[in-house]
Amino acid sequence: MVTFFQHQPFMGTPRRPILRLVLICLVFGIFFVVFMPPTDTPHFEYTPHFPSYHPPPVIPSRPVSFPPPDPGPHRHRIRPQRPLPEPGAHRTDDLWANRADAVREAFEHAYNSYARYAAPHDELLPLAKAPIDNFNGWGLTIVDSLDTMWLMGLYEQFDSGLASIANITFSMPAGSFAPFFETVIRYLGGLLSAYALSHDPILLSRADDLGNALYPAFNSTSGLPAYGVNTVTGNAWAGWSGHAVWSEVLTCQLEFKYLAYLTGRARYYIAAEKVMEVMYAANLSLTRDLYPTGWSLTTGLPTTRKVSVGSFADSGYEYMLKQWLLTGRTDTKVRDLYLRSVDTILKHLTYVSPTRKLLYVTDAMVDQNGEFFPTHKLEHLTCFFPATLALGAATIPDVPPTHMWAARGLAYTCGSLYADTPTGLSPDEVTMEADADGLWSKHLARWEKNGAHGDPPGVQAPSPPENETLRDYSPLNRGYILRPETVESFYILWRTTGDITWRERGWNIFEALQRESRVEDAGFASVDNAYRVNSTKRNEMPSWFLAETLKYLFLLFSDEDLVPLDQWVFNTEAHPLPVFQWSEWEKERYGITNAIPTGSAVDSE
């Protein structure tokens, strides 16, 4: 048999075929090893089973010098954690370390109870010791708790949670709908934050799966996301009212823009920014730069003249500031929206109570002449606002001093709602005692006219009331549902001012939680009546208790700055996302035109 090699000259002289074959393989092998660049690209790409899914584009490599080293890209933000104490150890030499350990123990009690009685379902029913699937049935408490575990150094629980994450398919029956807002802030935010902290690839893969499954919610005439979407069929549902809630459509930009940054998928950014374009174009002359709480999915116009800082509005204002912070303080357009809105809130929705001088923010109806008619209702939800104000005051150059004054005064009031009750827990809603001349802006004007001596009105720590008739408010909803907003504000104020009294107030709240909400062998539970010691407990432990309340308490008591506020931005479910900046190719790809770098007081720290 005549071989191919016998008819081909090789190196001028015929050689034995086997030797020639070996030499050829050796030459190609050496060339491959020496000259081919190394790669971290996996040998396969996971493709989720969604009909509309398209593999990601090739993302150009970032220059080594971009983003700038401070704040750097998320891959350099994995921080070493403080070692855990030995089982049973109790450090008596460090008050705040011991308090942080106490919060960690409370988290372990809550999460281990969930794992024992409810995993992999959404939440634990602590009194029944049973599970409930009330948010899509994808294991909400696991996803919502992952970054808390990481920050607390609970790596075994974190790794156990990853096994559940790997099995999530984001499936649901044909007639069901995932609530867009809750799914974005809890599931998508939780996955992205856990990825940013741990860099485990399965978390980014699942976040991309979920972002793709939620994307059809944006397919409305206006571009505002629908209330819910079926993650299998892509069918969207406008909700019972048919209108969009303003806070819900304005609380997806952090998550989708960061997801676009990680994956290179332009449509994530474009969809989230389309919502902002609707807001930029809105005529708010009647409501004086405040956004009404209801919007049409068809026209992209307001459907009501109600304005608020609590329910239906809260996180919308929060995300205006945080979009600017997350993108390296470059999106000045959204920052200016925030400043204009806060100016109106402080002038027209902020009041001082008549006796104890409690500062509070309320909601109002605006008539056709632009006059505000306040309800004087104060919600626990509104207690997020001191945190937002303090964060803005610490990061925006030349911000008016009223922002930090209001942050302190409002936080004092929110703390008083806890301190005034026998349980040490807060009612969910109160009605403040109205004063015809109670607008804070009027109080400030008189204070300045008289020489501006001492603290501004409403900014002093209030004294305890002599009796319940002198509280300056009446409870509307006496229940406490393990909410996080007040301790969130205490944490941000502690980190931005260094005032230790915010830590002490937080410790008082934690002790009250241990006394009144802890279930001996099954986590924690909401209470029916914050004004009654040993009140009846409710059969619920919302996932936000582990994602937010206990996380903020742990960070409040930790001396180490585990989440530096100039490097990370919390989403509204307390999931920290790392600060980043858009590269030139991203600006071109996504159509980003208003990314103008700006400085701030924190930049030099």
Dist. CA 199–CA 205, nearest whole Å: 11
Q: Strand, helix or coil at 322?
A: helix
Dist. CA 423–CA 403, nearest whole Å: 31
Dist. CA 237–CA 472, nearest whole Å: 42
- Catalytic residue ranges: 182, 186, 314, 485
Burial 173-189 (b: 16+ CB within 10 A, else e): eeebbbbbbbbbbbbbb
Q: Are 153 and 82 within 8 A, CB to CB? A: yes
Q: Strand, helix or coil at 130?
A: strand
Dist. CA 192–CA 198, nearest whole Å: 10
Residue 216, CA atoms < 13 Å, CB-side half-sphere: 20
Dist. CA 131–CA 541, nearest whole Å: 10
Dist. CA 188–CA 386, nearest whole Å: 25
Position of tokens 């530096």?
564
User: What phi and psi, each to the nearest 5 degrees, are found at residue 166?
Assistant: -60, -25
Position of tokens 């939780």?
190
Dist. CA 426–CA 432, nearest whole Å: 14
Q: What is the DSSP letter of 396?
A: S
Q: What angle do CA 495, 471, 354 make, to 5 degrees?
A: 90
Position of tokens 């969130």?
488
User: What phi and psi, each to the nearest 5 degrees, are found at residue 36?
Assistant: -80, 130
Reference 363, options 441, 306, 409; nearest CA is: 306
Q: List Cβ<8 Å contacts ≥24 apart for 194-198.
A: 194/143, 194/146, 194/147, 194/150, 194/158, 195/262, 196/74, 196/77, 196/576, 196/577, 196/578, 197/77, 197/78, 197/147, 197/150, 197/151, 197/576, 198/78, 198/150, 198/158
